[in-house]
Chain A
Amino acid sequence: MPSGALLFQSVILGLLLGGLYALLAAGLTLYFGIMRVVMIAHSAFLILAAYLAWWSHTELGIDPLLSMLVTVPLFFGCGVLLQRLLLARLRPVTLTMMSVLLTFAIAVVIEGLLGYVFSGTQRRIQLGYGSASLELFGARIAVVKLIAFGLAGVALAALYLVMKKTTFGWALRATIQHRDAAKLVGIDTDRVAGFGFGLGLATAAIGGTALSLDTTIYPSLHWHWIGPLMAIIVVGGLGSVPGAAAAAMVLGLAQSLLQIELGTTWAQTVFYLALFLTLAVRPQGFFGGRLAQRF
């Protein structure tokens, strides 16, 4: 039986990790809501942002957090272009399947280009405050993990406010709920859908920067993220942001606790186990609404 302090530390680390999962899953949920698209390339963009943060730190010597000033607008633009130029061209009838292949292709291209430009070597940012940590009831929490969680929390809160309080957020939610009806009341749904994709990809930029602070990165790392993230959105119920956030917290916590007994690799299987069980027992997920039942 692990000691109380170790258990407590695992709980904290699990919650911190869950915060990052929640932010990234929110992005995936957004794409799914807008276009019924399972965006495989989401985590590839995540790793791309982490590489850009690492590059700006080692080559330009600036703090990785400042790289967000460039990557967030850049990724927002990429998201808009991706939706307007590529995904909107696909036939509506086969959109769900073909968009998976298209975003898969984008993920593979990003992985290949990262490997070509930065080589397959594992990279890690060396920060002045990288080894600093806080003591809390016997648990040691690295400061960078707190910063990553803070970033994810602020980004999620901002996303929530945009969705609930702004006119654009209303238009976006209307588009998600019923595209034709939204068009009827005068919303330019194509434009809104493009911006929605931009928002989703911006979460990948923030998540990637947070990830780069304390993780060793390499080009094929995105496969380790897309699996858990997809499991989270299915368990939460496709299309439900609160569901994704809750599932992210629960599964992040479960992964962190299982690591004590099983080690890091086997603990990852908890995501896939949850995915299979959810689909077998409750295919619409645990928080899914009308949308999830059909997909």
Chain B
Amino acid sequence: MPSVSERSTKIAATVALTAFAAVALAFPELAPNPYILSVGIVVLNYAVLSTSWNFVGGFTGYISLGHGALAGLGAYGTGLLITKGGLPSFVALGVGAVLVAVVAIPIGYAALRVRGASFVIVSIALVLVTLLVFQSWASFTGGSRGLNVPRPFPGMLRPEHHRVFFYLFLALLALAALVWWLIDRSRFGLGLKAIREDEDKAETLGTPTFAYKLVVFVVSAFFTGLAGGLYALWFGDLDPIFQFSILTGSYMVLMALLGGVRNLFGPLVGALIVGSALEYFKVEFGNTPLHLVATGVLLALVVLFMPDGVLPALGALLRRLSPTTDTSIREVTAAELAATGGDRQHAESRNL
């Protein structure tokens, strides 16, 4: 039987989700001008990206700083398939994302055979090498001059174009969140979380850790590629500097971490906070190097003081306000478990 605190958390989550869905669906009507609407699209794009990142980061605990490169590959893949391959826009989007997933297989194979440190190194190297290739191979990618992606709806006016893409991004976000939720409840998800908590033990107990990590990395790459491709169709102008930027990847990490990587909606909450802040910063301060400093300081603060994110902190607050104080063992890190393991065992044997 769910306890009072669990129920109150659940009610709070449902209310918040319904409110978000209502506001999101009405946002194109509420937005006072096309600029605000385009900011909404950028924030949604961030939400999709960091939710996609969270397939790897949240379930397995492997932190990738290179997902920006996967988004860039999705964007360029889609753009090149339209301009050079002559495919219709949305077919190119699908094929592009599948190609990103295929590319992710050898990358994941090399990166995931050993533990975390090599994975991070490969993820950063991925951004640097893709930037190098896409800047230098100008005859194919357009190089630093950029790549123009034709619009999917040629006759459409700009506000209407924004409106359509807002809903497309929203649908993609819902799809990514749905898949994340399904994995979270599955046996596969349980195996992934076992890897996060203790990879050695998971392997000893028969979890095919390497295969699981690889599959979830490819799924993550697929959604990241879709988000990148959709961005290319919306924005229509690609530049390697921005597409293959280490900053894009770090924004994804920052958003997911700030919101809470163990929560389905953590990355969304993080994207709403960080994405809006980034856009505000851009308007107020322009393109000064200070946005780098702000990003770095915020990331350091989150890592040092709030590595579990905002949502778990809110949940803890709710639980403290409600009468009973029982906890579930399921979502506790190995470190916390080691620290409080003795007390909890006593409490549980008493409950039995």
Contacts and interface: CB of A to CB of B under 8 A. Distances in A.
Interface residues of A, number: 55
Contact of B124 (A93, A98, A226, A283): A226
Interface string A90-107: 111110111011101111
Contacts of A98: 303, 307
How would you classify the secondary structure of chain A's contact residues: helix, strand, loop or mixed? helix
A32 B109 CA distance: 23
Interface string A253-295: 0000000000001101101100110011001100000001111
Contacts of A120: 289
A219 B125 contact: no
B300 A294 contact: no
A108 B334 contact: no
Nearest to A111: B292
Interface size class of B (residues with CB under 8 A): 35 or more
A224 B124 CA distance: 11
Contacts of B115: 96, 294-295
A272 B113 CA distance: 17
A93 B334 contact: yes
Contacts of B296: 104-109, 112
A267 B350 CA distance: 66
Nearest to A120: B289
B117 A32 contact: yes
B205 interface: no
A104 B125 contact: no
A280 B128 contact: no
Interface stretch (B75-83, B130-138, B219-227, B320-328): B130-138
B211 interface: no
Interface string B105-127: 01101110111111011101100
B302 to A, nearest CB: 8
A111 B289 CA distance: 8
Interface of B: 61-63, 65, 106-107, 109-111, 113-118, 120-122, 124-125, 128-129, 132-133, 135-136, 246-247, 250, 253, 257, 288-297, 299-300, 303-304, 307, 333-335
6 contacts: A109-B292, A265-B132, A269-B129, A279-B114, A279-B118, A294-B115
Interface of A: 32, 36, 38, 40, 86, 89-94, 96-98, 100-102, 104-109, 111-116, 120, 219, 223-224, 226-227, 230-231, 234, 238, 265-266, 268-269, 271-272, 275-276, 279-280, 283-284, 292-295
